[in-house]
A and B are shown apart, each in its own frame.
Chain A
Amino acid sequence: MLAVGWAKLLLLLLCLGATKSFATEELLLWHGYRGAERQALERLLDDYNRSQVDVRVRALAVPYGGYADKLSAALPRGQGPDLFIFAHDRIGGWGRAGPTIAPIGEVAAPEVLQRFPEKLLGAMRYRGHLYGLPFNFKSTALIYNRALIAQPPVGSDEMIALARAHTDRKRGRFGLAYSYTEPFFHGALMNAFGPGPFDGNNRLALDSEANIRSLQLLADWARGDAVLPEEPNSTLVSELFNQGRAAMVISGPWMLGEIAPQIDYGVATLPLISESGRPLAPWVAVEGLFMSPWSRHRAASYRVMEFLTRRSAAETMAISGGQLPANLSAFEHPQLAANRAAVAFRSQLDSAVPIPNLPEMTLLWAPLENVLKKVVKGAAQPAAELQRLQRKLERDIAALEASRQQDAERGPPVWLQGAVPLLLLAVVTAVILRRRRIAESWRRNRTAYLYVLPAMLGMLLLVFFPLLYGLLLSFTDTTLLNENSPLASRWLGLDNYVGILGDWNLWYGEGAERSINFDNFYWTLLVTVCWTVSNVIISVGLALLLALALHRPIFGRTGFRLLLILPWAIPNYITALVWKGMFHPQFGVINQALQIFGIAPVAWFDSVGASFFTGLVTNLWLSIPFMMVVILGGLQSIPRELYEAARVEGAGRWFQFRSITLPLLKPVLVPATILSVVWTFNMFNVIYLVSDGAPAGANDILITRAFRIGFEKYQYAYAAAYSMVILALLFCYALWQTRVSRALEVAR
């Protein structure tokens, strides 16, 4: 009775969840703001809604981590918002991919466009089309601790000299700290020496003299002058600054809210490069207001865009939201003119350069970061490394462009077009011919089929359809640039598989320079197999030990049991990052502990083995609790009488374990092991969050590699083929394993 009541309540709740509200003139706006900036935006929208009779803007905040995925899932399919706010650097990709973003050049009035400086407006243009109105901008500048630095440096030599005076590595003090291995931050150096990663004709020129010199300068700062902390990230930088351990940091306006109240800080524009006298020119990301091409309320949407970029709105965003508005007239407001930080960021804009919005730029971030990491650690020479990256990226860009240029005439081969109806026909005939036997089998096993059917139907819909989609995708050359064109025009055949399995470039370089090509499929496969085997063996073994230790009564058993499952209960996103922090070479507790015991600290993310170990430890820590619970459940099915009988017979502990526990645990242990192999093989999170494939992708497993191909190189089809290879490998394993262990013993 109670169960029925619950079910009804549940159904009611689900129905409530399914209903939608329909408003005739409701505009949906997506944004990624939070905190003060979000409140400022919402206040503006409230004002707007009050001033309108027939239009209402509804805002939806989307967390940063899911925002880009949400947009690229919804927009090309005619779903999603009317308006959205996003950084400008994706415009090129969206503009070329098709119906993701609407050009607004025709509706935008010239007097509205005059609100913005040409630099920020230019960031919104791609191939002559204007795609949005600039809303806010973000660039880095120099933030310094006034208690340590009296006068901000004017030249880079002066900055480094100051930094050296404030560096005491033993005590964890640094003159300068910033996320220098992130291309977004390194842009300031690249742009100071030359035109940046692309030449005047938007062609990739990473190996230009200017870029090589920028990398050389960074290497000097990190290694020669040694004023920078190791393995920086934004959290570490703000921690160092807040504790007075970093005299100067390079960061953006987003950091100001995080600075501790006891720190008296100042903001200044970045110094000039002393060699050339040119200013460090940070990249600026422009958050734009964009419109969906599917919006049914374009005129109304544009009016909202216009409203949000007015001077009064810009002032609100700046004063209560802490943003830097693209409508620069807001900076004339007395409250902003008196805000020294805002003024400094405003004047930094004069030398800042908008991030190129070319689709090619989005390919650059991840590999350039790897190069930066290698160079600052002295593992590579700037010139050679940039030349290698240039060649690699030229190939990736060529692959994207090639997919775009395919003529629309092309389609799947004729035999395939004929094959689909033929196959269907064959299936139908087979069913008709065997209808007797099928009916017979159904009648005889009706109960069994009825029991299995609901689960099977769900699986067919939600698992095998996506799988089929992946399979089809893997035979095409789909990339970011042609994903919305018809499938037939993208047909490629088996080329992706040939590319993956025929990739025998196991080495690169010559002679003494020769090293393993970590991007190679077979290397990644080797790492994946080692990863899976070591993880599963250790986790099953330790979980078994723990479960056995907990199975029999012991003092504090309930407490231990609860403690030991905690890693499973806390969201693993944060615990994985805690482990990453613990492995930090300079501030991580593991190295600190090693030093206390008189052992030299380990550079955890610099070598293949050590980096592998970090992932292994984290994954074990995360996966053992679950395995332990499974085994605890399995131990319950072993009748106690068996042990009693064995004890009466005088059998020892080991014998009992071998001849009673293990065999009777097998029905539970074997499926758990098989599934754990499959999951570990595809364990994306731990690798991605902890070692992130360091050093330079050497520790990537197949799944993270597939992700990188799909979402860092935007070769979707190639990534799908990679996934199909993963599937095939795991399928072979499962066939072998079930045969060996006879997990599928005949039913009674």
Chain B
Amino acid sequence: MRRILGDICSWRFAFLLFASAIVIYPLLWVVSLAFSGQQSLQLVVDPPDAGFWGQLAALVPLPEQWSLDNFRAVLTEQLFMRWLFNSLVVALSTTIVGLSLSCTAAYAFSRFSFPGRERGLMLFLISQMFPAVLMLIPLYVIVVQWLGLGNSWLGLVLVYSITALPFCVWMLKGYFDTLPYEIEESALLEGASRLQIFYRIILPLARPAIAVTGLFSFMTAWNEFILASIFMDDESRYTVPVGLRFFVSDYASDWGFFAAGSVLVSIPVILLFLALQRFLVSGLSAGAVKG
């Protein structure tokens, strides 16, 4: 109890509280809008006769009445669940493909010295430097016209995992570099093969970095809109960001539906983060050197 009190009174706690407030406020708009059952929230116009606190309280966005209508509409009037499922398949496949490609590559970049190593790393970086907007047409030509993967998830998974690759490779390589080499050396002496070392020792030790890069690959696929809308020619194959954009146009936009959809879309991400976060907190490598 005293420890909790001590925590609450610390600067660290105050800082976290402040940061959380800043993070939450814009989200509160989204959530209130989602639960308002309407397409827009009451505009903030400060009540001139209210006191200081009254005026301040008027800035907190709250729906006039809570309602699940927006969620109901989003889930029933559209193929939303279907799109959510598609997105899950695409994003999870992207994560698996991306991680398996990048873990192996990053391991080689970290542990072997070979001609072309630095140039190879640089090549991965270059790929992030060319603006994605202008890759649209060439990607369409390759994936749809050459590979014939238009309207298929395979095409999307391929593009997404390659897009996420440079970050994953660089991140994992950086992390592998921090892992002590002594463990591998002794394993090598005991006759383990490189592959065994990679699977049995390196991957388990690198779990925090794999969690981060996995989350990143997932998010790359999860929120991508333009490629998915261009590649897919069948409504039942759309991913959820494409479906969400149905609510927005230049003329009139259903922001309430969009907000409700956004809240739904973020739930799997939060669950994934909850599942992965134990890799980000417990000091796994502590004591690894001794072992």
Give the B-binding residues of A (Cβ under 8 A). Answer: 7, 10, 13-14, 17-18, 20, 28, 32, 34, 60-66, 69-70, 73-74, 77, 79, 138, 170-172, 234-235, 238-240, 242-243, 245, 252, 254-255, 257-258, 441, 444-445, 447-449, 451-452, 454-456, 458-459, 461-467, 469-470, 542, 545-546, 549-550, 554-558, 560-575, 578-579, 581-582, 587-589, 592-593, 595-596, 621, 625-626, 629-630, 632-634, 636-641, 664, 667-668, 670-672, 674-675, 678-679, 681-682, 684, 703, 706-707, 710-711, 719-720, 723, 726-727, 730-731, 734-735, 738, 743-748
Instruction: From A62, A467, A570, give the contact of B130 (CB < 8 A).
Output: A467
Cα of A385 to Cα of B24 in the assembled complex, Å: 42
In the complex, what's the smallest C-beta–C-beta distance from B247 to chain A, in angstroms? 8
Find out whether the CB atom of B4 lies under 8 angstroms from the CB atom of A555. Answer: yes
Find out whether the CB atom of B138 lies under 8 angstroms from the CB atom of A569. Answer: no
Within B11-68, which residues are at the interface with A (CB < 8 Å)? Answer: 12-13, 15-16, 19-20, 22-24, 26-27, 29-30, 39-40, 42-46, 48, 52, 55-56, 58-59, 61
- Give the residues in chain B near A73, CB-CB below 8 Å: 136-137, 140, 230
- Give the residues in chain B near A465, CB-CB below 8 Å: 138, 142
Cα of A255 to Cα of B252 in the assembled complex, Å: 6
Find out whether the CB atom of B152 lies under 8 angstroms from the CB atom of A727. Answer: no
Find out whether the CB atom of B274 lies under 8 angstroms from the CB atom of A455. Answer: no
Cα of A171 to Cα of B23 in the assembled complex, Å: 30
Find out whether the CB atom of B142 lies under 8 angstroms from the CB atom of A466. Answer: yes
- Give the residues in chain B near A738, CB-CB below 8 Å: 122
Find out whether the CB atom of A560 lies under 8 angstroms from the CB atom of B20. Answer: yes
Q: Which applies to chain A's interface (DSSP): helix, strand, loop or mixed?
A: helix
Find out whether the CB atom of B135 lies under 8 angstroms from the CB atom of A630. Answer: no
Give the size of the chain B interface in residues (CB under 8 angstroms): 155
Nearest chain A residue, comparing its CB with the CB of B278:
A558
Instruction: From A243, A463, A727, give the contact of B42 (CB < 8 A).
Output: A243
Find out whether the CB atom of A464 lies under 8 angstroms from the CB atom of B26. Answer: no
Nearest chain A residue, comparing its CB with the CB of B92:
A10
Cα of A634 to Cα of B285 in the assembled complex, Å: 11
16 contacts between A and B (CB under 8 A): A14-B93, A18-B153, A63-B229, A63-B248, A65-B226, A171-B48, A451-B112, A466-B138, A466-B142, A545-B15, A578-B30, A592-B55, A632-B208, A637-B285, A639-B285, A731-B129
With A18-B153, A546-B16 already in contact, 17 other A-B pairs whose C-beta atoms are closer than 8 Å: A66-B225, A77-B141, A238-B40, A463-B162, A555-B3, A556-B7, A564-B19, A571-B266, A578-B26, A578-B30, A579-B26, A636-B285, A637-B178, A674-B125, A674-B170, A707-B133, A710-B134
Once A668-B178, A747-B117 are accepted as A-B contacts, the answer to whether A637 and B108 lie under 8 Å apart by CB is no
Find out whether the CB atom of B46 lies under 8 angstroms from the CB atom of A592. Answer: yes
Digitize B205-244: 1 where CB-to-A-CB distance is under 8 Å, 0 elsewhere: 0001101100110010001011001100111010001111
Find out whether the CB atom of B126 lies under 8 angstroms from the CB atom of A727. Answer: yes
- Give the residues in chain B near A734, CB-CB below 8 Å: 122, 125-126, 129
In the complex, what's the smallest C-beta–C-beta distance from A478 to chain B, in angstroms? 11
- Give the residues in chain A near B48, CB-CB below 8 Å: 170-171
Within B251-275, which residues are at the interface with A (CB < 8 Å)? Answer: 251-253, 255, 258-259, 262-263, 265-266, 269-270, 273-274
Nearest chain A residue, comparing its CB with the CB of B219:
A568
Once A77-B145, A462-B158, A593-B59 are accepted as A-B contacts, the answer to whether A61 and B171 lie under 8 Å apart by CB is no
Find out whether the CB atom of B233 lies under 8 angstroms from the CB atom of A60. Answer: yes
Q: Which applies to chain B's interface (DSSP): helix, strand, loop or mixed?
A: helix
B196 close to chain A: CB less than 8 A? no
Find out whether the CB atom of A684 lies under 8 angstroms from the CB atom of B124. Answer: no
Find out whether the CB atom of B45 lies under 8 angstroms from the CB atom of A172. Answer: yes
- Give the residues in chain B near A459, CB-CB below 8 Å: 123-124, 127, 162, 165
Find out whether the CB atom of B152 lies under 8 angstroms from the CB atom of A596. Answer: no
Find out whether the CB atom of B7 lies under 8 angstroms from the CB atom of A69. Answer: no
- Give the residues in chain B near A560, CB-CB below 8 Å: 16, 20
Find out whether the CB atom of A461 lies under 8 angstroms from the CB atom of B142. Answer: yes
Once A452-B109, A667-B177 are accepted as A-B contacts, the answer to whether A570 and B263 lie under 8 Å apart by CB is yes
Digitize B180-215: 1 where CB-to-A-CB distance is under 8 Å, 0 elsewhere: 010000000000001000000000000011011001
- Give the residues in chain B near A720, CB-CB below 8 Å: 134
- Give the residues in chain A near B123, CB-CB below 8 Å: 456, 459, 464
Cα of A28 to Cα of B233 in the assembled complex, Å: 10
- Give the residues in chain B near A745, CB-CB below 8 Å: 177
- Give the residues in chain A near B75, CB-CB below 8 Å: none
Find out whether the CB atom of A79 lies under 8 angstroms from the CB atom of B235. Answer: no
Find out whether the CB atom of B269 lies under 8 angstroms from the CB atom of A569. Answer: yes
Once A710-B134, A723-B134 are accepted as A-B contacts, the answer to whether A587 and B253 lie under 8 Å apart by CB is no
Once A79-B150, A621-B22 are accepted as A-B contacts, the answer to whether A550 and B286 lie under 8 Å apart by CB is no
**3 closest A-B pairs by CB:** A66-B229, A466-B138, A451-B108
Find out whether the CB atom of A252 lies under 8 angstroms from the CB atom of B251. Answer: yes
Find out whether the CB atom of A596 lies under 8 angstroms from the CB atom of B136. Answer: no
In the complex, what's the smallest C-beta–C-beta distance from A146 to chain B, in angstroms? 21
- Give the residues in chain B near A566, CB-CB below 8 Å: 23-24, 27, 266, 270
Find out whether the CB atom of B262 lies under 8 angstroms from the CB atom of A451. Answer: no
Nearest chain B residue, comparing its CB with the CB of A581:
B29
Find out whether the CB atom of A34 lies under 8 angstroms from the CB atom of B152. Answer: no
Find out whether the CB atom of B46 lies under 8 angstroms from the CB atom of A675. Answer: no
Find out whether the CB atom of B269 lies under 8 angstroms from the CB atom of A470. Answer: no
Nearest chain B residue, comparing its CB with the CB of A80:
B233
- Give the residues in chain B near A234, CB-CB below 8 Å: 250-253
Cα of A572 to Cα of B92 in the assembled complex, Å: 20
Find out whether the CB atom of A452 lies under 8 angstroms from the CB atom of B120. Answer: yes
In the complex, what's the smallest C-beta–C-beta distance from A485 to chain B, in angstroms? 15
Instruction: From B59, B108, B153, give the contact of A592 (CB < 8 A).
Output: B59
- Give the residues in chain B near A668, CB-CB below 8 Å: 171, 174-175, 178, 209
Instruction: From B43, B115, B215, give the contact of A587 (CB < 8 A).
Output: B43
Nearest chain B residue, comparing its CB with the CB of A674:
B125
Cα of A545 to Cα of B112 in the assembled complex, Å: 34
Find out whether the CB atom of B246 lies under 8 angstroms from the CB atom of A34. Answer: yes
Cα of A744 to Cα of B113 in the assembled complex, Å: 11
Find out whether the CB atom of B262 lies under 8 angstroms from the CB atom of A589. Answer: no
Cα of A633 to Cα of B279 in the assembled complex, Å: 8
Cα of A571 to Cα of B102 in the assembled complex, Å: 25
- Give the residues in chain B near A639, CB-CB below 8 Å: 283, 285-289
- Give the residues in chain B near A578, CB-CB below 8 Å: 26, 29-30
B70 close to chain A: CB less than 8 A? no
- Give the residues in chain B near A641, CB-CB below 8 Å: 286-287
Digitize B97-116: 1 where CB-to-A-CB distance is under 8 Å, 0 elsewhere: 00001101101111111110
In the complex, what's the smallest C-beta–C-beta distance from B120 to chain A, in angstroms? 6
Nearest chain A residue, comparing its CB with the CB of B238:
A63
In the complex, what's the smallest C-beta–C-beta distance from A454 to chain B, in angstroms? 5
Instruction: From A64, A171, A441, A593, give the contact of B249 (CB < 8 A).
Output: A64
In the complex, what's the smallest C-beta–C-beta distance from B141 to chain A, in angstroms? 7
Cα of A738 to Cα of B119 in the assembled complex, Å: 12
Find out whether the CB atom of B235 lies under 8 angstroms from the CB atom of A60. Answer: yes
Nearest chain A residue, comparing its CB with the CB of B267:
A569
- Give the residues in chain A near B242, CB-CB below 8 Å: 63, 66
Cα of A675 to Cα of B216 in the assembled complex, Å: 13
Find out whether the CB atom of B154 lies under 8 angstroms from the CB atom of A10. Answer: no
Cα of A10 to Cα of B27 in the assembled complex, Å: 34
Find out whether the CB atom of B152 lies under 8 angstroms from the CB atom of A17. Answer: yes
- Give the residues in chain A near B3, CB-CB below 8 Å: 555
B157 close to chain A: CB less than 8 A? yes
Instruction: From A63, A138, A444, A747, give the contact of B109 (CB < 8 A).
Output: A747
- Give the residues in chain B near A589, CB-CB below 8 Å: 44, 59, 61
Find out whether the CB atom of A596 lies under 8 angstroms from the CB atom of B46. Answer: yes
Cα of A557 to Cα of B282 in the assembled complex, Å: 13
Residue in B59, B114, B159, B245 whose Cβ sees the most chain A Cβ within 10 Å: B114
Cα of A295 to Cα of B148 in the assembled complex, Å: 19
Cα of A317 to Cα of B34 in the assembled complex, Å: 30
- Give the residues in chain A near B179, CB-CB below 8 Å: 637
Find out whether the CB atom of A569 lies under 8 angstroms from the CB atom of B131. Answer: no
